A and B are shown apart, each in its own frame.
Chain A
Amino acid sequence: MKEEFQAPQGKILKINGICMSLEGDDIDTDRIIPARFLKCVDFESLGDAVFEDDRKDFKGKHPFDLKTNQSASILIVNSNFGCGSSREHAPQALMRWGIRAIIGESFAEIFYSNCLAIGIPCFTLPKKKIKSLQDRSREETLFFEIDIKNIIAFEKSIAHHLELKESSKNMFLSGEWDATSTLLNNIELIERKINELPYINLNKLRIT
């Protein structure tokens, strides 16, 4: 059994964990969490359902079912991971299964911003390096200590230089990935904005 779920909170400086590989391009959010599991009013029970249909197909040999992966928390994926539906249920399901960081060739845009908003960094690496890590993580236990400030994954004496958008990095380091309070700090600017938008204030627009 997995440890009790704890969502990321506050500043995220380091993520340590075992890597697991999930191969495939264009893995969409319908595959990560099939639509029937979206019939819920909270995210709590999603962890067990992650990749449900793919896992059935693999009959126990899917990466999320392999014994060796059960304590993994860093997922290594290929390109355009998380494409399709905007459902935050997808990263929520991964997070509730135990994933705390993802390293991939590339990510779909909405998936990336959903991960950012719940405190899951999505790092990128070139295709060749991903392939090498995926191959190795199948053969041996890869334990990474990811230093977010320097964007480096330390593996014993090896330093893997990852890539992460500067703005995302800053948000993880400051805790502002949990954006609500930062946004509300600017409430006066928001109120000024609503009073100057033409379509909200058409009666104030002057016709030339």
Chain B
Amino acid sequence: MSQNTLFDKVWDLHKVADLPGGSSQLFIGLHLIHEVTSPQAFGALKDKNLNVKFPSRTIATVDHIVPTDNQSRPFKDTLAEQMIDTLEKNCKKHKIKFFNIGSGSQGIVHVVAPELGLTQPGMTIACGDSHTSTHGAFGSIAFGIGTSQVRDVLASQTLAMNKLKVRQIWCKNRLSEGVFAKDLVLHIINKLGVKAGVGYAYEFSGPAIDLLSMEERMTICNMSIEGGARCGYVNPDQITFKYIQERQFAPKNENWARAVEWWQSLASEKDAKYDDVVLIDASQVEPTVTWGITPGQSIGVSQKIPELKELSIDDQFIAGEAYEYMGLSPGQAIKNTPIDVCFIGSCTNGRISDLRVAAEIIQNHKVSPNVKAFVVPGSEKVAKAAIEEGLDKIFKEAGFQWREPGCSMCLAMNPDKLTGNQVSASSSNRNFKGRQGSPSGRTLLMSPAMVAAAAIEGKVSDVREFLKK
């Protein structure tokens, strides 16, 4: 059993009680909600004649269903309009703070909470979205929940849960030039597998993690769930504190020093005990691309799609399914795979640093004539910053469409979808069958820089060749 890790400390601090069945009742410090997984929860509260217990500890925004071309109301899609309208009414009724479109702070919930300074070390954070693990980048325990648990958090600010085990993923050395946090996390998921994290929280640590910016750490923690871990975190340090300072909801004045002192006490102790430890050499990671239908089916850009015999027996069934669905053959190089659509955005890679690195690659180039390319900033704040820096112009001049913030084609609940069996190069997090809106659409996950390179060439390319030019 783990001891003295950040996870143990934060868990113990938030444990309210042992429940009769044997699970724990955990207090949730910050509850984030959006339009897709909350309406039925509010409906259930009404059915049970309950109120929101601590409305100030829940924050709402709208992200999944928002159109990115024209956000004027009412939305053309009447179902989408009904969902935003329901959220507006629920927030108003229960006095929940709602960052709506046009507020200057709307965006993907996992982009918005950190940039507002709502996400802080030592908190428990829950949201009806599996990528809530993103917030663990700040040294919080953050995890996705379903709608019934959203109901429970609204009603009681707590939920029933079993304590997770803790696996330390120690990343030694450092990432090489042209290799990003996205590549590292895809590499980790490939090495450990998509279900290795079930029952675990992942602690990402070691020199390669220490060097990462907060936005890069968010990319890593975001995809913990793709490795099966409901929760992933990084121990807070000066990079964390500097990111939070001065943000809207950051502790102010004399409370700042108090907060930092407390945050510093949270990191896993040197003598901490883990349930498991895994070593990853970050210097060995290449720009990484998925070739299959799970985020674990990835290879370095210079490698070939694995043959069945190279895979463990457990991985062979899904690999066979993947070859067929993707129309790719074992032994084939992933490089030069033709691309139809390029998508830069999502809670994984839709932040300002992602847009900067992609713009740097795309500058003075043109999008291949066969490719539809678009950028969806993660939030209104990201969009504003990008426009101030002139990034929108760089993208538009190269032939990218510049859109309004939202989840967009990561899960295609809005009008942004693949059609037919189009192949996308996507900076998002899931390459599941049909994920990007077409039941036969195909997704190759990669870093935003690699998406930019693919947009220029119209095929999977090695972004390191652009850095040399």
Contact = CB atoms under 8 A, between A and B. Distances in A.
Contact of A171 (B21, B36, B199): B21
B261 interface: yes
Interface of B: 13-14, 16-17, 19-23, 25, 27, 29, 36-37, 39-40, 43, 48, 50, 53-54, 64-65, 77, 79-80, 82-83, 86, 120, 122-123, 128-130, 132, 143-149, 151-152, 155-162, 194-195, 198-199, 225, 228, 230, 251, 255, 257-259, 261-262, 294, 314, 317-318, 321, 411-413, 430, 432-435, 437, 439
B253 to A, nearest CB: 10
A197 B25 contact: no
A184 B198 CA distance: 28
Contacts of A198: 13, 122, 262
Interface in A113-169: 113-114, 117-118, 165-168
Q: How large is the interface on A (under 10, 10 to 19, 20 to 34, 35 or more residues)?
A: 35 or more
A16 B369 CA distance: 59
Contact of A86 (B37, B80, B321): B37
A53 B421 CA distance: 13
A86 B146 contact: yes
Given A86-B145, A87-B37, A193 B194 contact: no
B20 A170 contact: yes
A91 B147 CA distance: 11
Interface of A: 24-26, 28, 30-31, 34-36, 38-43, 53-54, 56-57, 78-80, 83-89, 91, 106-110, 113-114, 117-118, 165-168, 170-171, 174, 176, 179-180, 182-184, 186-187, 189-190, 193-194, 197-200, 202-203, 205, 207-208
Most buried by B among A78, A88, A170: A88
A100 B157 CA distance: 29
Given A88-B148, A183-B25, A203 B255 contact: yes
Contacts of A34: 434, 439
Given A108-B198, A113-B146, A40 B79 contact: yes
Contacts of A57: 439
9 contacts: A31-B434, A80-B198, A83-B194, A167-B162, A184-B155, A190-B53, A198-B13, A199-B123, A205-B259
Contacts of A83: 194-195, 228, 294
Contacts of B22: 166-167, 170
Given A41-B39, A53-B433, A109 B20 contact: no
Contact of A179 (B159, B430, B432): B159
A166 B120 CA distance: 34
Given A84-B432, A183-B160, A194-B157, A42 B146 contact: no
Contacts of A167: 19, 21-23, 162
B159 A194 contact: no
Contacts of A199: 29, 120, 122-123, 251, 259, 262
B441 to A, nearest CB: 10
